[in-house]
C-alpha cells in the first residue's frame, strides 16, 4: 500500500517537490505518493492534522509555514532547534510529530557535489532572514575559517551572528560576524546569496573586491537563466552555482528521514536541469 507524503505551502502550485520525490520513489522502488497542498495561511496546524487523519506519513513545509511547523512539532532535531524553523515533518508511530530541517544539509551537500571546499574558507552570507538562519549550522559544521553575515539592516545581521555565538557547537571555532553591506570588505572564498532579491532584478550594493577569479558565488535561488546576483559574480570572474541542487539535496535528506533510503541525486539533478 502506498504511503502518503506532501509539501505544504501557500502558494504551492509552482513547487517542483512532487516531481523530485516521484523521481526518488521510482529510483528507489518506494511505494509512496507525494502531492502539493496549499494550506490556509491561518490554519497550517489544521491542514497537517487533516493530512495525518487521512493517512499522511510526512511532509515538507515551505513558505510561509516553516516557523509554524517548528511550533507544531512535538519533538525537534538539534538542527531544527538551532534554525528555529522546520521544513520536514514526520508522523511517528507513537503519534507524535517530529520536526527537522534539511535546508542547510542540502546546501552543503550541493556545494560538495560541485567540488567546493568549505574547510578553512572565508564565507560570506548575504541576508539575515529565515532562509539564512536555516543553513548556518551545517555551514559552520563544515569548518570555515570565518563566516560573515551581511544584511541591508546591519543590526539584524549583528543580532543573528550573536545568536550563532551563543549556541554551543562543540569544536566549531569559526569567527562569526555580522554587519551591513556598506561595511563589506573582500575578498571571500565563497559568497552565498540567501536573499530572494536577485530574482526580482535587485542586487545589494556589493563591492567589486568581494570575489576573486578563484572565488565561488552561490545563489540559493534558481531559475532557467542565471539570477542577477550570479550574472554580477560571473562578470567578475567568479565560479557561479545556483540553488537547484540545494533543492534536490534537501529533498533527498527528507526522503531519507521518511523512507530510510538515500536516493542518488545525480540523475535527478540532470533531469530537473533539463526541464527548467
Binding residues: 15-17, 62, 87, 103, 127-131, 151-156, 220, 222, 243, 250
One of 4, 21, 66, 91 is an active-site residue; which one? 66
User: 53 CB contacts (<8 Å, ≥6 apart)?
Assistant: none
Residue positions in the annotated binding site for NADP(+)?
Answer: 127-131, 151-156, 220, 243
> Is 66 known to be catalytic?
yes
Distance of CA 57 to the CA centre of its chain: 22
91 and 66 Cβ atoms separated by less than 8 Å: no
Residues in the annotated binding site for shikimate: 15-17, 62, 87, 103, 222, 250
Cα dihedral 72, 125, 220, 263, rounded to 10, equals -70
H, E, C per residue of 174-202: CEEEEEEHHHCCCCCCEEEECCCHHHHCC
Q: Are 88 and 100 in contact (CB under 8 A)?
A: yes
Catalytic residues: 66
Amino acid at each position: 500500500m502506498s504511503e502518503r507524503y506532501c509539501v505544504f505551502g501557500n502558494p504551492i502550485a509552482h513547487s517542483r517537490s512532487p516531481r523530485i520525490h516521484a523521481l526518488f520513489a521510482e529510483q528507489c522502488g518506494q511505494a509512496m505518493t507525494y502531492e502539493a497542498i496549499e494550506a490556509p495561511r491561518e490554519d497550517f496546524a489544521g491542514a497537517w492534522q487533516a493530512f495525518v487523519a487521512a493517512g499522511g506519513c510526512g511532509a515538507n513545509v515551505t513558505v510561509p509555514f516553516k516557523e509554524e511547523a517548528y511550533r507544531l512539532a512535538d519533538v525537534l532535531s538539534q538542527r531544527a532547534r538551532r534554525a528555529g524553523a522546520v521544513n520536514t515533518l514526520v508522523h511517528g508511530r507513537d503519534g507524535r510529530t517530529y520536526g527537522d530541517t534539511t535546508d542547510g544539509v542540502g546546501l552543503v551537500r550541493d556545494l560538495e557535489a560541485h567540488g567546493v571546499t568549505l574547510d578553512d574558507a572565508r564565507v560570506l552570507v548575504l541576508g539575515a532572514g529565515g532562509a539564512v538562519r536555516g543553513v548556518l549550522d551545517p555551514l559552520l559544521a563544515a569548518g570555515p575559517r570565518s563566516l560573515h553575515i551581511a544584511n541591508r539592516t546591519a543590526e539584524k545581521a549583528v543580532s543573528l551572528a550573536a545568536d550563532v555565538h551563543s549556541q554551543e557547537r562543540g569544536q566549531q571555532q569559526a569567527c562569526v560576524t555580522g554587519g551591513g553591506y556598506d561595511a563589506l570588505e573582500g575578498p571571500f572564498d565563497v559568497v552565498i546569496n540567501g536573499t530572494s532579491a536577485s530574482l526580482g532584478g535587485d542586487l545589494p550594493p556589493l563591492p567589486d573586491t568581494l570575489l576573486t577569479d578563484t572565488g565561488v558565488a552561490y545563489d540559493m535561488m534558481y531559475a532557467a537563466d542565471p539570477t542577477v546576483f550570479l550574472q554580477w559574480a560571473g562578470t567578475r570572474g567568479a565560479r557561479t552555482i545556483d540553488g537547484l541542487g540545494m533543492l534536490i539535496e534537501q529533498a533527498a535528506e527528507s526522503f531519507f528521514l521518511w523512507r530510510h533510503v538515500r536516493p542518488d541525486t545525480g540523475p535527478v539533478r540532470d533531469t530537473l536541469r533539463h526541464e527548467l
